[in-house]
Chains A and B, each alone.
Chain A
């Protein structure tokens, strides 16, 4: 049975994010993912508050990166939260967001190797409390926790490109695919399949999560309006092949990017077309959303993550999902 996840960006006050998570837990969500960017509230502080105020829902950073946070510190953070909420903590790790990292002068070097090495270090620490590692990017001479990590902490890898998807299938307990459209998820699944085959892994050992941009409302127009700013940013940051795959012209994407860079939000959002909304989000009425989620499940998705903006009003959107969406797939 498909699992449901929800993403929150800790831009908002800690108690609002926690409030929504409690609501999501009551609504039947299985998982909450908290984004990790230096300019928002700290992901682990947010997760700690969530751990203290929830009973069942699983939680984790979605996703952290090894460039800004050393893998040893990531292991220490998730292991500490796992003491509060044993067997409810997961770790999402990826190469990171180029735009945000470049603001700090941090370069994304050898992302595949960085992720592989990080996962190996983290896995050693969260399972044994110890790590000794000599990699090309990370070295740990002798690390030992003064506490015993509690509970199982699955590692999910945030992936989009073919090589990262293959790597994720080889070494991850789960994969967070940053995409909403069946074309992208279908393509991603082929790389996941190929990666798993190379190491003789069964696909059912891997939780394949579609980390979508999602917006739901009983009135389609309202759902689309809420998704438009998010889609504008996705389009402006998408590589050419991705745009081409969805029949979106590079010129149109550049026009949005220029308007966003100039701070002309209205202009940027007005250039977002229905095709862009369709390509980069799941937006609409409950019926539309059910149809789109079904398509992704048929392609192999085992966790559906409701990502930003969720809806024009987050509380109402979670209520709507709990009434119309989750029961459709779980009952």
Chain B
């Protein structure tokens, strides 16, 4: 959860759609575990993908299937520290 706490809420909102697009467009999507996918669906249904827990799962899911794209996205958003933390965690 430390990773998420380092991400301001306004940045989470901006990052949500590009992170979702990583999940929806990736050719490695089968790498995503069904338990994580089910959690993503739960947070999406309840508009909680930018909550602490929801955003954490979204970051983990995107990183699990497209680590380079996710890192690049975070770096471009000035969240290099988050990208590094994520790499350690996943």
Contacts and interface: CB of A to CB of B under 8 A. Distances in A.
Contact of B34 (A15, A16, A55, A314): A15
A54 interface: yes
B42 A53 contact: yes
B44 A13 contact: no
Interface in A18-60: 18-19, 22-23, 49, 53-55
A15 B32 CA distance: 10
Given A315-B20, A315-B21, A18 B29 contact: no
Interface residues of A, number: 14
B45 A15 contact: no
Contact of B40 (A19, A23, A54, A314): A19
A54 B29 contact: no
Q: Is the interface of A mostly helix, strand, loop or mixed?
A: helix
Given A53-B45, A54-B45, A315-B20, A15 B30 contact: no
Given A13-B29, A13-B30, A19 B21 contact: no
B24 A22 contact: no
B29 A22 contact: no
A55 B45 CA distance: 9
B41 A22 contact: yes
A311 to B, nearest CB: 13
B45 A22 contact: yes
A258 to B, nearest CB: 30
A55 B41 CA distance: 13
Contacts of A13: 29-30, 37
A18 B21 contact: no
B89 interface: no
A315 B24 contact: yes
Nearest to A314: B24
A22 B44 contact: yes
A70 B20 CA distance: 39
A7 to B, nearest CB: 17
A18 B38 CA distance: 10
A220 B34 CA distance: 37
A196 B40 CA distance: 46
Contacts of A54: 45
Nearest to A52: B41
A49 B32 CA distance: 17
Interface string A285-326: 000000000000000000000000000001100000000000
Contacts of B34: 15
A92 to B, nearest CB: 24
B21 to A, nearest CB: 7
B20 A15 contact: no
Interface in A109-137: none
B21 A15 contact: no
Given A22-B44, A53-B41, A16 B21 contact: no
A19 B42 contact: no
Interface of B: 20-21, 23-24, 29-30, 32, 34, 37-38, 40-42, 44-45
29 contacts: A13-B29, A13-B30, A13-B37, A14-B37, A15-B32, A15-B34, A15-B37, A15-B40, A15-B41, A16-B23, A16-B29, A19-B20, A19-B23, A19-B24, A19-B40, A19-B41, A19-B44, A22-B41, A22-B44, A23-B44, A49-B41, A53-B41, A53-B42, A53-B44, A53-B45, A55-B45, A314-B24, A315-B20, A315-B21
Given A13-B29, A19-B24, A53-B45, 9 more contacts: A15-B37, A15-B40, A15-B41, A16-B24, A19-B23, A19-B40, A22-B45, A23-B44, A315-B24
